[in-house]
Every structure is written in structure tokens, then in C-alpha cells.
Chain A
Amino acid sequence: MLNIIGASVIFATCFIFFVIGRPDRTIVAMVGAVLMILFGTWRGFYDHQAAYLAIDYNTIGLLFGMMIIVGILRGTGFFRYLAIKGAKLARGDPWKLLLILGLTTAFISMLIDNVTTILLIAPVTILVSDILRINPRPILLGEVILSNLGGVGTLVGDPPNIMIGSASGFSFNSFVIHLMPVVLLAMGIALLLFKVLYRKDLRSTSRQVERIIEMDESRAIKDKPTLFKCILALITVVVLFLLEEKLGLKSAFVALLGAVFTLIMVQPDVKKIFGEIEWPVLIFFGSLFIMVGGVDKSGILGLLGAGLASLSSHPLAMSLLLIWISVVFSSLAGNIPYTAAMIPVVGHIAAGGFNPNPLWWGLALGAGFGANGTPISSAAGVLIVEMSDKTKSPITFRNWFKSGTLITVISAVLASLVFIFFFSWFN
């Protein structure tokens, strides 16, 4: 009993700090991991050996590999190029600008980390809006919300999916087949909602459109040869992801293969590229896995799983429950710590006689859609709010609740309906 209480207190305390957002989540997770090992060693239920085994190296390897490829790609100016090209296509129509830049962000986010995507697309969006004299707020909101939604559609699109993919053994294709239709539907509804909610801001075409047309997007590309090599590497990675089942490859291996391929072709300054790797993120994941490993070994997650399993014996009811729990908790505490903790729980529920497949999909949809719950539910959301503070129309919590939170609820309802009507699809 003491094991359970101690481990739960350590984990719950860290969770509360994740919600508060301070100290930095990496520091919190590292402290939590160390405390968990200390406590587990003292009580005899966990030790450094078990902690080592608890780390999901597939997740960390995948993140690491993609970070290298993206780190090299972002220096080429490719994302800026896409943003300018998109802005020109919109021809000064704010609604088209939202549509084109939002969808661009969403599709890039299916393969690449959301924060990086927003970091590169949003500044151009703000500049273009300012030149056009239109309100950037709906467009920025659209970009980040669609980016969060898009990531749910693939195995590599967002961290919860990477972790779930690794734990469940589902392939890249399986993620696309099961989740992409729901995601595309949710994106469509989100866009319609934006059109209604922000009809005033999105109505009139700007007269300043010539300035945008005059922009020379080719000047945004800083290094063409490197860009082509990166795109080639990304295409290779996607093809290998699609074939990973046939070839028997792990997704982390594919990402690392792509990274090695890019490194040998581009031969960048290694110190510079490795300096751009987000080590705090990788350490955060490692520490989180260690912490969750300890919580699981203490027995509490087993009890939680058995408790949930006893609520209903109906697989659909259990999946729906999981979707909604995931939406709520991911919105509040961020979907990464939540998913890390829930993965063992899903295993325990399945041990109670459930088919785990619909549970995994429910977790992925719930945790993924939860990212739009509040402005602080996702790292990309936090970033876009910070950026919008530098414009004349900052994104407020109120703005977010009107769009992001509403879309979270709608997309969760949508996921539930899809589960209700097409449950066999997720078996």
C-alpha cells in the first residue's frame, strides 16, 4: 500500500507541476524520475535496472531521427517558401489565406513536429496579415488548431501517437487507415466553424494584395541543394514508413535511417545541427518513461486498469469512456504525460479480457483531440499565443474557448459517433 501511495504522490505532484507549467517540465520530470528510482529502490519494487528497461527507446529514437532531418531542413527556408507561396495563392482573401495556410500547416504537421511547423509558418502569417491590413488572429488560431488535428492522423504526427504506435505495435499504415478519415472530417468541420465564427474578420478581400503578389518566394530558399536532399530523405522516410510492415522495420529505425541518409548527403556542421536537437524534449520523454515505469511497478496502474475494466464489460462503452477521459485529461495536463501514464493502463484493461485495439485508437483520438482543449494544452498552442501577443490582436483565453475548446468538444463527439457507427473498423 505504501508503494502505491508513494509512487502516486510523486507522479501526481509532477503532473500538477506540468499543469502549472513551472518549473520547466524537463526539470520536473527528471526530479520525478530520480525520486521514483530512490523510492522504488528503498521499497524494493523498482530500481535503476527496471528504470532503464522502462524507457521506450523507439519513441525517443523516432523523435531524435526526425529532429535531425527537420533541423537540417528548416535552415533551407522551405517552410517560409511554402507560407509565402500559400499567401500569394490566397490573393488577399482572408478566408482563403486561413484555408491554404491552415491546411499547409496541418499537412506538414502530419509528418513534422507541430511546434517547428508553427514556429516557421506563423511569423510569415503575421507579416502578411499586417501588410494586407487584416486581422491575423483567426488565421493563427486556424493554423495551430489544424496543426494539432493533423498530427493525430499519422503515427509520427504527434508524440502521443508515437508512444501509442510503439506500445501497440500498430504500423504507420494502420494509423493512417484508422485515424486519418476521422481527422480529415474533424479538420473540415473546424474550417467550417472558423468560417462562421470569424465571418466578420474573414469577409473583405484586402486592397493591399499587390504587395503580397510582388513577394519573391524564391528568395526565401537559402540553400537549394540541401533542400532537395532533405526532401529526398523525407520522401524516402515516408515510403519506408508505408512499407515498414512488409520490410519488418521499426519506425524509429526508419527515422534514424532517414537522419543518417540526410547527414551523409548534406554533411552539415555536425555541432550546429546537433546543437539544434531539442535535447530537453528527449530527456523529458526518457524521464517520463522512468517515472511511469515506477508508477506501474507500484501496482496503482494495474488497479486503475482493473477498476476501469469493472465499470463495463462492453468494448464500445469502454472505448468511448477512454476517448472522453483522454480528451479531458490531455486538455488539462498536456497529452504527453497523460498518454505515457495511460499506455500501461490500457494494457491492464486489455488484460481484463478486452480487445486492446479499439482502446488504443480511442486513446489516440482522445489524447490527440485534447491538444486543442485550452491554449496551454499543447506546446504549439502556447507558442502561438506568445507570438500573437506581439500583434495588435493577441489571442485571449476567450478567443481560444470560442474556437479551440469548441472544436475539441466537436471532434471528440465526432470520434465517439464514428466509434458508435463503425466500431468493427477499430477492432
Chain B
Amino acid sequence: MIKVKDFMTKEVKTITRQTTIREIAHFFLSFQVGFLPVVDEEMRLLGEITKRDILAPFLPDYFDLLEDITFISDFGSLENLPLEILENLIVAEDIMIKSVVTIGQEASLFKVIALMAQHDIRHIPVVEKERLIGIISRTDMLRVIFQQKGS
């Protein structure tokens, strides 16, 4: 049975609570990752940030009340994105979300497939005693499933 520890990515790019939104965007752009775990000094997992979360601060809070916005063509002053948000105002802890799913390194490949499908997520942090030891992305999954059979 293939286990998580056999195919997880161990070299994980992590950020801290205080990493700014500008730096986070920089990580996404330069390292080809779509997922950043937020950890403390002892590598304890605090939360995670995906590309989706990084856009949320640009939308007013009340937007989730609107069921439909197709009738608007020009949002007027809203169109001027509040770029001051980028100037160190927003840091990782403001936009991170608590990880819905984590997994242990002894879990099976099939369990990872099932969890990813059920929660519709692309990454799962691998955690041992609250500490982050790796992540599994869908790329890791493709690699382990399809390359193994071919080799």
C-alpha cells in the first residue's frame, strides 16, 4: 500500500502570520505554487492560503449579501481597487483560513484521493503531532498514480 509519506512533498514553502499580502502574491507568482501553509516558529500549522483567498480583501464585506450583480456594468468608485491594502495592511493572518482537512503520513493514497474529491480541494497539509511535515498536491497525486504504473 502506498502511503502519504512515500509521495508527499517535503520541501514546503511556508509563511508566517505576519507575511504581507504583497509577499504572498510574490510567492504564488515566482514559485509556481497555489497553496501556502501558515506556520509558527515551531512549524505548527495555523492555517492556509490559496490563490482564491488572496483576492477576497479587494471585495467589500457586504458583497456576499448580493445574489446577483449582472445588472451592473460600471462599479464606479469600487473599480479603483483599494491598493493601500497591498501596503502591508493585510498580512497572512487576516486572510488565512483554517485547514479543513489535514492528513497523517501513514494514511493511504486512496484516502487522499477520497478526501480531495469529497472536499473539492487541491492540496492537503500533512501533519504529525500538529507540526507540518509536508503537503500533497494534485500534481503529487498524478505523479504517484500514473508514473508508477508506467515505470
Contact = CB atoms under 8 A, between A and B. Distances in A.
B71 A216 contact: yes
Contacts of A130: 60, 62, 77-78
B72 interface: yes
A220 interface: yes
B140 to A, nearest CB: 38
A22 to B, nearest CB: 23
Contacts of B61: 390-391
Nearest to B60: A130
A219 B71 CA distance: 5
Nearest to B75: A131
B146 to A, nearest CB: 40
B120 interface: no
A391 B63 CA distance: 10
B75 A387 contact: no
A131 B65 contact: no
Interface of A (DSSP majority class): helix
A77 interface: yes
Interface stretch (A118-126, A275-283, A404-412, A413-421): A118-126
Contacts of A123: 62, 65-67
**Which of the listed residues B67, B76, B78 has the most CB atoms from chain A within 10 Å of its own CB?**
B76
Contacts of B65: 122-123, 126, 387, 390
A77 B71 CA distance: 11
Interface stretch (A52-60, A97-105, A173-181, A207-215): A207-215
Interface residues of B, number: 18
Contacts, number: 61
A73 B120 CA distance: 33
B71 A211 contact: no
A43 interface: no
A78 B77 CA distance: 26
Contacts of A222: 68
Given A80-B68, A122-B65, A211 B74 contact: yes
A215 B62 contact: no
A47 interface: no
Given A390-B61, A391-B62, A216 B68 contact: no
B73 A214 contact: yes
Contact of B73 (A122, A124, A216, A220): A216
A84 B70 CA distance: 12
Interface string A99-140: 000000000000000000000001110110011110000000
A245 interface: no
Interface in B35-78: 60-62, 64-78
Residue from the set A123, A217, A222, A387 with the largest chain B CB neighbour count within 10 Å: A123
Contacts of B60: 130, 390-391
Contacts of A124: 66
A262 B76 CA distance: 39
Contacts of B78: 130-131
A215 B75 contact: no
Contacts of B62: 123, 126-127, 130, 387, 390-391
Contact of B76 (A77, A122, A131, A387): A131
CB-based closest 3 A-B pairs = A211-B76, A123-B65, A390-B61
25 contacts: A77-B68, A80-B67, A80-B71, A122-B65, A123-B66, A124-B66, A126-B62, A127-B66, A130-B62, A130-B78, A131-B72, A131-B75, A133-B77, A208-B76, A208-B77, A214-B73, A214-B74, A215-B71, A219-B70, A219-B71, A387-B65, A390-B61, A390-B65, A391-B60, A391-B61
Interface of A: 77, 80, 84, 122-124, 126-127, 130-133, 208, 210-211, 214-220, 222, 387, 390-391
Given A131-B75, A216-B73, 13 more contacts: A122-B65, A123-B66, A126-B62, A127-B62, A127-B66, A130-B78, A131-B76, A131-B78, A133-B77, A208-B76, A218-B71, A390-B64, A391-B61
